[in-house]
């Protein structure tokens, strides 16, 4: 195997590990919530902590790789990841589990951008397109397989093995990185904006904490204080950004309507779906008494629909245009969520299959179109800056979507029965998924050079 394919293999293995750790623990959340005696709003922090870890690590990963060398960094990151997943499975309290998930996310955040940069530097032109296809395949394969495998583990074993099962692959990736990658550090890179990174991370953490506390019934005063702290950190970052030469998040890039609309769509489709899927897992397991394995199987339909839709969207993009594809994606995705409102008994498998199929098709069209559109206006040194902003928004969409819908659900529980609260939350989620419709008209016409 040539050197560049060794690098690509390490990146794809790390990317696969990262993806399954976003989705596999989700099917175990009802068991985790029961064991630690926590509410479903608090259980969302199993995912939120991982996302916050990624947010902290991604912006500094390239700088660390240039200082230490990719070989040392990626090997150390995967070793740290292995220790963290072991710690997650052995956690004796929910606080310990969240702390280990934060470490796990930071380790994953060091590997992905460095591995991607190394791989894309070695593959140019049509070869890069083939590598991108492999990345897309991994991005679909992991969400399709990991919930099913996680459900098998939970039904026939114990939930800690959802985390422990990652250790062999993580150790193998660490060993291959040490054996295959070059040792030399890269060129000297400018010091990252650590103050900006802390302010952005604090803003996101306070926002998620405020939504979680309010939804879990801890009182409006404490939740409002957290939300105000989040807004304050965001405003402080804006002031810091205006004074600094460069920022960890380049706010001026939001002047691009393509990037701005694509970011909104990502919150409306993948972000909303994250919250809907998390709530539906609790609904299917706790209310309808379906097994974790049966719950995870529906993600296979989602992934199949998303894969077919991505292929279709790629072919139609230059002929139909981004606005029409985004409109179609949002409508189909919200229609799938609406079908969940009609699921009332364990026998409603046909509705569940149709719902996940439609959400997959709509999500595939919308997410693929947003991904394609987001960075069209950028090139040169602005491309990595736009990529950082896009990826941070992507991670925020997952966490905010889950926290917001769990808050809505828990507030509705005060005056409604549990099934009615689930169904009304799904209805509101379908409306939230259509929110960017009002901004589609701001997208500029397609440019022939983008074809």
- DSSP SS3 for 190: coil
Instruction: Judge whether 125 and 267 are in contact, CB under 8 Å.
Output: no
Q: 166 with 198, same domain?
A: no
Residue 83 to residue 42: CA distance in whole angstroms: 24
Q: Is the dihedral of CA 409, 412, 413, 419 positive or negative?
A: negative
**pLDDT value for 378:** 80
CATH of the domain at 26: 1.20.1250.20
Residue 37 to residue 33: CA distance in whole angstroms: 6
| CA angle at 103 for the pair 403 and 89, rounded to the nearest 5° | 85
Can you state the angle between helices 322-340 and 257-266, rounded to 10 degrees? 10
Q: 334 with 401, same domain?
A: yes
Q: 233 with 347, same domain?
A: no
Residue 432 to residue 434: CA distance in whole angstroms: 5
Residue 446 to residue 451: CA distance in whole angstroms: 9
**pLDDT value for 126:** 62
- Residue 20, number of CB atoms within 10 A of its CB: 23
Q: 290 with 184, same domain?
A: no
Chain-centroid distance, C-alpha 65: 23
Q: 345 with 398, same domain?
A: yes
**pLDDT value for 143:** 73
| CA angle at 215 for the pair 397 and 207, rounded to the nearest 5° | 45
Token digits of residue 378: 């950028």
**pLDDT value for 112:** 78
Among candidate residues 247, 282, 313, the one where a domain is terminated: 247
Q: 201 with 282, same domain?
A: no
Q: 307 with 268, same domain?
A: yes
Q: Is the dihedral of CA 387, 389, 395, 401 positive or negative?
A: negative
**Which pTM was predicted?**
0.80
Q: 168 with 314, same domain?
A: no
Q: Which residues 6+ apart lie within 8 Å of 399 measured at CB?
A: 44, 47, 48, 51, 52, 204, 208, 274
Cα 61 to Cα 52, 178, 430: the distances in Å are 15, 17, 36
Q: 364 with 269, same domain?
A: yes
Q: 38 with 83, same domain?
A: yes
Instruction: Judge whether 229 and 206 are in contact, CB under 8 Å.
Output: yes
Cα 238 to Cα 205, 417, 447: the distances in Å are 17, 43, 32
Token digits of residue 249: 């998040």
Among candidate residues 175, 191, 207, the one where a domain is terminated: 191
Domain that includes residue 211, residue range? 193-247
Mind listing the pLDDT tens digit of every residue in the chain (451 residues)?
A: 889 889 999 989 988 998 888 778 988 889 998 899 988 777 878 888 888 888 778 778 878 888 888 899 999 999 999 999 999 999 999 999 999 999 999 998 888 778 877 887 787 666 765 776 677 678 777 877 888 888 889 888 889 999 999 999 999 999 999 999 987 665 666 777 888 888 888 888 888 788 777 766 666 788 889 889 999 999 999 899 888 777 777 888 889 999 999 999 999 998 999 899 989 999 999 999 999 888 888 888 898 898 888 888 877 888 888 899 999 999 999 999 999 999 999 999 999 999 999 999 999 899 888 877 887 888 766 776 777 788 778 778 887 888 889 889 988 988 899 999 999 999 999 999 999 999 999 998 765 554 4
Q: 312 with 431, same domain?
A: yes
Cα 427 to Cα 159, 342, 391, 401: the distances in Å are 31, 10, 28, 14
Among candidate residues 247, 265, 289, the one where a domain is terminated: 247
Q: 199 with 186, same domain?
A: no
Instruction: Tell me 413's DSSP state.
Output: T
**pLDDT value for 157:** 85
In total, how many domains does the chain have?
Answer: 3
């Amino acid at each position: 195997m040539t050197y560049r394919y060794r690098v690509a293999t390490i990146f794809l293995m790390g990317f696969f590990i990262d993806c399954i750790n976003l989705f596999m623990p989700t099917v175990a959340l009802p068991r985790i919530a029961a064991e630690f005696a926590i509410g479903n709003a608090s259980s969302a922090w199993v995912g939120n902590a991982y996302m916050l870890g990624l947010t902290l690590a991604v912006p500094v990963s390239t700088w660390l790789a240039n200082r230490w060398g990719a070989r040392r960094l990626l090997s150390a990151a995967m070793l740290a990841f292995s220790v963290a997943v072991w710690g997650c499975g052995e956690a004796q309290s929910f606080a310990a589990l969240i702390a280990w998930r934060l470490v796990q996310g930071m380790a994953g955040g060091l590997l992905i951008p460095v591995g991607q940069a190394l791989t894309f530097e070695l593959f140019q032109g049509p070869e890069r397109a083939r590598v991108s296809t492999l990345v897309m395949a991994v991005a679909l394969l992991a969400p399709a397989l990991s919930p099913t495998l996680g459900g098998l583990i939970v039904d026939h074993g114990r939930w800690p093995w959802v985390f422990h099962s990652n250790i062999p692959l993580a150790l193998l990736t660490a060993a291959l990185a040490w054996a295959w990658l070059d040792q030399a550090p890269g060129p000297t890179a400018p010091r990252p904006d650590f103050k900006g990174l802390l302010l952005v991370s604090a803003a996101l953490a306070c926002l998620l904490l405020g939504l979680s506390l309010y939804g879990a019934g801890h009182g409006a005063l404490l939740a409002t204080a957290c939300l105000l702290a989040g807004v304050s950190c965001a405003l402080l970052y804006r002031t810091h950004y205006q004074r600094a030469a460069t920022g960890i998040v380049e706010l001026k890039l939001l002047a691009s309507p393509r990037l701005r609309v694509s970011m909104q769509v990502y919150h409306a489709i993948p972000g909303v779906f994250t919250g809907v899927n998390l709530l539906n897992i609790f609904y299917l397991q706790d209310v309808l008494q379906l097994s974790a394995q049966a719950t995870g199987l529906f993600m296979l339909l989602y992934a199949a629909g998303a894969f077919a839709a991505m292929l279709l969207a790629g072919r139609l993009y230059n002929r139909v245009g981004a606005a029409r594809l985004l409109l179609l994606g949002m409508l189909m995705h919200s229609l799938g969520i609406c079908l969940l409102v009609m699921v009332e008994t364990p026998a409603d498998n046909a509705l569940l299959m149709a719902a996940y199929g439609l959400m997959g098709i709509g999500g595939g069209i919308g997410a693929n179109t947003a991904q394609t559109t987001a960075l069209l206006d950028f090139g040169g040194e602005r491309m990595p800056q736009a990529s950082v902003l896009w990826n941070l928004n992507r991670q925020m969409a997952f966490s905010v979507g889950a926290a917001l819908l769990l808050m809505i659900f828990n507030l509705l529980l005060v005056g409604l029965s549990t099934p009615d609260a689930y169904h009304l939350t799904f209805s509101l989620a379908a409306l939230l998924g259509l929110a960017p419709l009002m901004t589609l008209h701001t997208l500029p016409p397609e440019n022939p050079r983008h074809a």
